């Protein structure tokens, strides 16, 4: 069974801290790895990673993929309370289907 | 105003009743998907459709049914055979069913509570 494992499952930090969220996956015809942010309802797309070692960046968020070790990390620097959310990682395999991890719940306290 | 809409936002039903959740998109996307999310869990795929008049079972299709008569619409019926229907249901779409990289866009979700 294809699995995507995220860690930690939850994390509480203070504003200004830097956090690293982890995502490991099993590979079956790997195509891409995606990160989403889910605040209250609809997950919103953050990054799609297809190649190893190439960092994707958007403001204070960045992500990188290691296809050899089968994992990805999502970094958030100088966290703000608005970063509080569940961060979901998903792997796309041989079809258009995405397999999601359980998510990491990030709480940023003022 | 492009996007994916789901209705209703909240839905309450009595046990044993079938209920249909609506999902509409005006993004001209070929593929549409239904996911279920339970507390502390990730998204689990119920059904997906790559093209009109065609759909495939996902990982947890039992107790659910779908139709795809129009490109824009992909309604999900939760039948009385679904043992634990109370959950948050998310609909998504992606631009091309057979595209190499599949970024999915999500609707706002429907929270179904079965009493």
Which DSSP category does B73 fall into? B
Which whole-number Å values give the CA distances from B91 to B21, B78, B83, in the listed order? 9, 14, 20
- pLDDT computed for residue A96 by the predictor: 67
Band (B52; pLDDT cuts 50, 70, 90) = very high
B32 in Cβ contact with B93 (< 8 Å): yes
For every residue of A61-110, DSSP letters joined together read EEEEEETTTTEEEEEE-S--GGG-EEEEEEEE-SSS-EEE---EEEEEE-
Instruction: Name the minimum distance, in Å, from the CA of A15 to any CA of chain B.
Output: 24
Asked if the Cβ–Cβ distance from A32 to B101 is below 8 Å, we say yes
Q: 57-76 in B: which are within 8 Å (CB) of A?
A: 58
Sign of the torsion angle spanned by Cα atoms B98, B104, B107, B111: positive
pLDDT in tens, A64-93: 999 888 999 999 999 999 999 999 999 987
CA-based end-to-end distance of chain A:
40
Asked if the Cβ–Cβ distance from A98 to B45 is below 8 Å, we say yes
Cβ of B115 under 8 Å from any chain A Cβ?
no
């Amino acid at each position: 069974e294809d699995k995507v494992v995220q860690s930690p499952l939850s994390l509480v930090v203070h504003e200004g801290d830097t956090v690293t969220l982890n995502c490991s996956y099993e590979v079956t015809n790997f195509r891409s790895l995606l990160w989403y942010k889910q605040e209250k309802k609809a997950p919103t797309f953050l990054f799609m990673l297809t190649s190893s070692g190439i960092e994707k960046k958007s403001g204070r968020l960045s992500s990188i993929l290691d296809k050899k070790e089968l994992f990805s990390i999502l970094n958030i620097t100088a966290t703000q309370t608005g970063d509080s959310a569940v961060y979901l990682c998903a792997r796309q395999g041989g079809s258009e289907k995405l397999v999601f991890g359980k998510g990491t719940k990030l709480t940023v306290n003022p | 105003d492009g996007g994916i809409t789901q209705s209703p936002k909240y839905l309450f039903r009595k046990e044993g009743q079938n209920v249909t959740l609506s999902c509409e998109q005006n993004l001209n996307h070929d593929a549409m998907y239904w996911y279920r999310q339970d507390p502390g869990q990730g998204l689990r795929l119920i059904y997906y459709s790559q093209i009109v008049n065609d759909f495939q079972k996902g990982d947890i299709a039992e107790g659910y049914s779908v139709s795809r008569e129009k490109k824009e619409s992909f309604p999900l019926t939760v039948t009385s055979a679904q043992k634990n229907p109370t959950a948050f249901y998310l609909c998504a779409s992606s631009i091309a069913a057979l595209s190499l990289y599949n970024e999915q866009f999500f609707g706002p979700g429907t929270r179904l509570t079965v009493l």
